[in-house]
């Protein structure tokens, strides 16, 4: 398998894989939304989050290496299923293998510019709130 890192990768692939295929995979991965960010109202993909380590091809098979933001990511299964579904439907792809990779560990340096801006705005917004302004939800008292 050849290692073709990054959305703009154009290095030749091993076997019959082509740079065009690798670029199509990266474009498709950009359509896989990060579930945690979707839940918090942000339109960020797994590529924006820097979760993809590598895309490799051999003939008509694709292998994608993924690092999650946390080792015990509750949505890891969903991200893997979404990758398999989207990449598996690409023309000329007969198989897809998604490999969870604990290393390199994820950190904020892997975020895209779009994600960095969103996170910076959220941090600034949260930092400006005073603790007393954060709404407190009443809980039922149990006897």
Identify the structural domains of the chain with CATH numbers, from first to last. Answer: 2-131 (3.30.300.130)
d(CA 102, CA 61): 23
pLDDT tens, 66-99?
A: 999 998 899 999 999 999 999 999 998 999 999 9
3-state secondary structure of 105: coil
Q: Any residues with CB less than 8 A from the CB of 118 and at least 6 apart, and which?
A: 42, 44
Task: Please say if the pLDDT value at position 53 is more than 70.
Answer: yes
Res 12 pLDDT > 50: no
* Beta partners for residue 63, in sequence order: 56, 97
Q: What is the pTM of this model?
A: 0.76
The tens digit of pLDDT for each residue in 34-49 reads 999 999 899 999 999 9
Q: 79 is written with which tokens?
A: 């991200």
Of 25, 15, 26, the closest CA to residue 60 belongs to 15
């Amino acid at each position: 398998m050849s290692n073709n890192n990054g959305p703009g990768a154009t290095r030749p692939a091993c076997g019959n894989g082509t740079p065009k295929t690798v670029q199509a995979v990266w474009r498709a991965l950009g359509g896989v939304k990060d579930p945690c960010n979707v839940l918090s109202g942000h339109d960020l993909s797994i590529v924006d989050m820097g979760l993809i380590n590598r895309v490799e091809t051999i003939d008509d098979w694709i292998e994608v290496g993924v690092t999650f933001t946390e080792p015990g990511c509750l949505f890891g299964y969903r991200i893997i299923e979404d990758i398999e579904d989207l990449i598996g439907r690409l023309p000329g792809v007969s198989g897809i293998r998604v490999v969870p990779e604990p290393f390199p560990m994820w950190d904020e340096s892997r975020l895209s510019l779009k994600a960095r801006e969103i996170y910076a705005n959220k941090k600034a917004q949260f930092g400006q709130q005073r603790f007393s302004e954060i709404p407190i939800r009443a809980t039922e008292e149990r006897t």
